[in-house]
Amino acid sequence: MAQKPVIGIRGVNGFIGKHLWQYFEGNGYKVITISREDCKDNNWLRLMISRCDVVINLAGFGIFHIWTKKNQQK
């Protein structure tokens, strides 16, 4: 049996990300979750992404915030 791909998911704290994570893990996939904090360390981020066959990026900024200069930088 072929090995299932390793899936990296960015944005697992959101509704869709959380359900994708549960779905993939429940079906035997190895899932690497990538948090906002993880992205602050470029070396770690490169290492984690290099271990993934697929990366799903669902990260974003919530729509319930005022679009100020400070929030734009986040």
- Within a domain: 69: yes
Distance CA 26, CA 6 (A): 13
pLDDT digits over 13-52, tens only? 889 999 999 999 999 999 999 887 877 888 988 999 999 9
- Within a domain: 40: yes
31 SS3 class: strand
pTM of the predicted model as reported, rounded to 2 decimal places: 0.75
- Within a domain: 27: yes
**Number of structural domains found in the chain:** 1
- Within a domain: 52: yes
- Within a domain: 17: yes
Q: Domain residues for 35? A: 6-73
End-to-end CA distance of the chain: 43
- Within a domain: 1: no
pLDDT digits over 25-34, tens only? 999 999 999 8
- Within a domain: 54: yes
